[in-house]
């Protein structure tokens, strides 16, 4: 790629990004400490068993309720790579947990994501939005209606980008463009 | 009441568009899977599939429309064969039709219509590719034939509308006679008036434009109206059929649906008759601009973008569908006064519904047909 559009973006450390795993760890700090100590002792098999139990219980619950929350949406898109930096969208604060909103509309679920481009004239905003949309369309059930908007006041041609990103037909046609699709695939290759 | 008659999984991907033949009981589909399928509109036969049109387009087929039936007054034995146009994201249009069934000549003239219908909608007819039309720079969004089958209009993301002229009986050649480039953005849809050479185009620029063929120059179309008002992409529009029960002479009406969640009806006084008699030919070479007014905004029902609208020529009812999966049927209770007569939620489950049409079955019933992102075609019976 030629000259980067934003050469010096602000970067967030990965360990400071919101995640369910981190939160759980924080809550259970004391337990962890105890676990660590006990694992050092002679009782050896207890620790892995405990972890196994808790994860299997969680996944059973998931199957019953299928609770997709803001954190899960964030997890799906946070690890998408920026098209010009070797960093993720979350590290660049393009996507933020607080800018994801879920709303139930009858049998449908609306997910509204506001993205913050790193600079106000970022020409890659549309591409980033498209990458997020493709990632979510591939991962979420059909009942989701995905709305992606540029966060107010963070981009020169906000309305133009918004309109394009939420036009079903334009998105479908763009996704049939092989060149574009390969760029998006590259952005999504860092997703877990 | 809106009740499901039949549901057919027609495609493995999105169905973008459906269309029924104006006189024959035929339904055709356009899908992301690059194929188009033709079904027979017979509820007694359970809507059988007649054929698949494939291996022609490299990308999604976005639009489909049957050519209207051509009547040849000079030759009463002339049989018009069904044909259709497909518009694709690969920027080309393909034209398809059947060969004349071999046994059609044997039929006595008086019997022709009943047998004709059976022969022309038979599964044994082979549908052949007649022509591929190139010209647009990128994705074609919509195609539409004028009432006589002589003109085909196509529109694209390249912001242009092309009008192609052909021989409506043989479909041998398609010559572009006019390019309209008045829209500032992507053009989503084009549709002709059912009996006049008037065309309406809906756009991503939030407007609708109306064009009319010039009086003394068949190869020139002039803008006779710009409809401003929608606050989002206009996805589709349809003219009222003059045969429709609520239509009035000298009035043209158009219904449009949009991303802004509204359904609007526009109307204009049709000055065609005066124009022809009063003005000297030297100054009437351009069609006169008509005054278009927003008649009304129909009661709100949809909560997500509205993608498609159909105006019944039989009952005058309007049906809409879109991203929310809701089917809404509007009835005009008195002139300009519309009410929601019927609604059907989740018509394709949680999927978006891209296209809706009123169509007649071979049994003579008017039904509603929808097509969705789930690849299904749903057939609905509507009771008022």
Q: Per-residue confidence at A36, pLDDT binned at 50, 70, 90? A: low
**Where in chain A are the domains?**
20-65, 68-188
The per-residue pLDDT for A46 is 42
pLDDT in tens, B235-266: 999 999 999 999 999 999 999 999 999 999 99
Reduce the DSSP state of residue A69 to 3 states and report it.
coil
Question: Which residues in chain A have their CB less than 8 angstroms from residue B303's CB?
Answer: 105-106
Q: What is the mean pLDDT of residues A43-52?
A: 42
Cβ-based neighbour number of residue A167 at 10 Å: 20
Q: Distance between CA atoms of B259 and B302, rounded to whole angstroms?
A: 10
- With an 8 Å Cβ cutoff, is B158 touching chain A? no
Which residues, other chains included, contact B169 with Cβ-Cβ below 8 Å and sequence gap of 6+? B70, B72, B78, B80
The per-residue pLDDT for A28 is 54
Q: How many cross-chain Cβ pairs, A to B, lie less than 8 Å apart?
A: 49
Cβ-based neighbour number of residue B120 at 10 Å: 22
Contact B204 A167 (CB under 8 A): yes
Strand order in the sheet with B306-311: B306-311, B318-322, B327-334, B337-344
Strands (DSSP E) found in B160-305: 161-165, 175-180, 187-192, 198-203, 208-213, 221-227, 234-239, 251-258, 263-269, 292-297
- With an 8 Å Cβ cutoff, is A178 touching chain B? no
Q: Given a cut of 70, is residue A15 above it in pLDDT?
A: yes
The per-residue pLDDT for B280 is 52
**Average pLDDT value for chain A:** 82
CATH code of domain B2-382: 2.130.10.10
Nearest by Cα to B32 from B381, B377, B383, B375: B375
Nearest by Cα to B2 from B364, B342, B320: B342
Q: Distance between CA atoms of A136 and B259, rounded to whole angstroms?
A: 21
Q: Which fold has domain A68-188?
A: GMP Synthetase; Chain A, domain 3 (3.30.300)
Residue where the block lists tokens 């002339």? B78
Least confident window among A21-35, A58-72, A154-168, B155-169: A21-35
Nearest CA in chain B to A159: B232
Q: Per-residue confidence at A24, pLDDT binned at 50, 70, 90? A: low
B189-215 burial: b if 16+ Cβ within 10 Å, else e: bbbbbbebbbbbbbbbbbbbbbbbbbb
pLDDT tens sequence for chain B (384 residues): 999 999 999 999 999 999 999 999 999 999 999 999 999 999 999 999 999 999 999 999 999 999 999 887 778 778 899 999 999 999 999 999 998 887 766 555 555 577 889 999 999 999 999 999 999 999 999 999 999 999 999 999 999 999 999 999 999 899 999 999 999 999 999 999 999 999 999 999 999 999 999 998 999 999 999 999 999 999 999 999 999 999 999 999 999 999 999 999 999 998 765 555 455 545 555 667 789 999 999 999 999 999 999 999 999 999 999 999 999 999 999 999 999 999 999 999 999 999 999 999 999 999 999 999 999 999 999 997
ipTM score over 0.90, yes or no: yes
Q: Given a cut of 90, is residue A14 above it in pLDDT?
A: no
Q: Which of A142, A167, A170 sits opposite B350 (nearest CB)?
A: A142
Q: Given a cut of 50, is residue A82 above it in pLDDT?
A: yes
Q: Given a cut of 50, is residue A52 above it in pLDDT?
A: no
* Strand B140-145 relative to strand B127-133, pairing: unpaired
């Amino acid at each position: 790629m030629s000259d980067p559009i934003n050469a010096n973006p602000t970067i967030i450390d990965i360990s400071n990004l919101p995640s369910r795993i981190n939160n759980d760890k924080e809550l259970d700090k004391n337990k962890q400490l105890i676990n660590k100590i006990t694992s050092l002792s002679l009782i050896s098999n207890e620790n892995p068993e405990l972890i196994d139990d808790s994860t299997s219980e969680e996944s059973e619950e998931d199957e019953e309720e299928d609770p997709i929350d803001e954190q899960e949406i964030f997890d799906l898109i946070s690890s998408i790579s920026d098209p010009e930096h070797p960093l993720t969208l979350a590290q660049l604060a393009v996507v933020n947990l607080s800018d994801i909103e879920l709303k139930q509309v009858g049998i449908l679920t609306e997910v509204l994501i506001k993205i913050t481009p790193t600079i106000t004239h970022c020409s890659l905003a549309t591409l980033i939005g498209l990458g997020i949309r493709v990632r979510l369309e591939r991962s979420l059930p059909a009942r989701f209606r995905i709305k992606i908007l540029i966060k107010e006041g963070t981009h020169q041609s906000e309305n133009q980008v918004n309109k394009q990103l939420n036009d079903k037909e334009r998105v479908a046609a763009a996704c049939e463009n092989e060149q574009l699709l390969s760029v998006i695939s590259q952005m999504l290759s860092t997703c877990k | 009441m809106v009740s499901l008659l039949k549901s057919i999984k027609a495609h493995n991907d999105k169905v973008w568009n459906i269309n029924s033949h104006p006189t024959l009981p035929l339904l055709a589909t356009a899908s992301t899977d690059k194929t188009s399928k033709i079904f027979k509109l017979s509820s007694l036969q359970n809507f059988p599939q007649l054929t698949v049109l494939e291996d022609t387009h490299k990308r999604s087929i976005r639009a489909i429309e049957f050519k209207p039936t051509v009547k040849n007054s000079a030759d009463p034995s002339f049989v018009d064969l069904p044909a259709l146009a497909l518009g694709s994201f690969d920027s080309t249009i393909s034209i398809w039709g059947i060969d004349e069934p071999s046994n059609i000549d044997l039929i006595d003239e008086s019997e022709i219509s009943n047998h004709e219908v059976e022969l022309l909608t038979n599964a044994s007819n082979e549908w052949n590719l007649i022509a591929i039309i190139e010209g647009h720079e990128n994705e074609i969004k919509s195609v539409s034939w004028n009432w006589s089958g002589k003109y085909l209009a196509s529109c694209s993301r390249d912001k242009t509308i092309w009008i192609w002229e052909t021989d409506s009986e043989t479909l041998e050649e398609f010559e572009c006679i006019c390019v309209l480039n008045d829209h500032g953005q992507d053009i989503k849809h084009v549709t002709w008036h059912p009996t006049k050479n008037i065309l309406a185009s809906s756009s991503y620029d939030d407007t609708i434009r109306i064009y009319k063929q010039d009086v003394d120059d068949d190869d020139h179309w002039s803008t006779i109206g710009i409809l401003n008002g929608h606050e989002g992409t206009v996805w589709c529009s349809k003219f009222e059929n003059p045969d429709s029960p609520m239509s009035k002479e000298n009035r043209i009406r158009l219904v449009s649906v949009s991303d802004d969640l509204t359904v609007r009806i526009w109307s204009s006084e049709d000055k065609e008759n005066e124009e022809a008699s009063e003005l000297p030919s030297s100054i009437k070479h351009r069609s006169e601009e008509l005054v278009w007014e927003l008649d009304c905004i129909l009661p709100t029902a949809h909560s997500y973008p509205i993608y498609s609208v159909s105006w019944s020529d039989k009952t005058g009812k309007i049906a809409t569908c879109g991203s929310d999966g809701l089917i809404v049927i509007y009835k005009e209770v008195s002139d300009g006064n519309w009410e929601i007569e019927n609604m059907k939620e989740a018509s394709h489950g949680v999927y978006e519904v891209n296209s809706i049409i009123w169509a007649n079955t071979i049994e003579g019933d008017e039904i509603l047909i929808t097509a969705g992102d789930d690849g299904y075609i749903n057939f609905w019976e509507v009771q008022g």
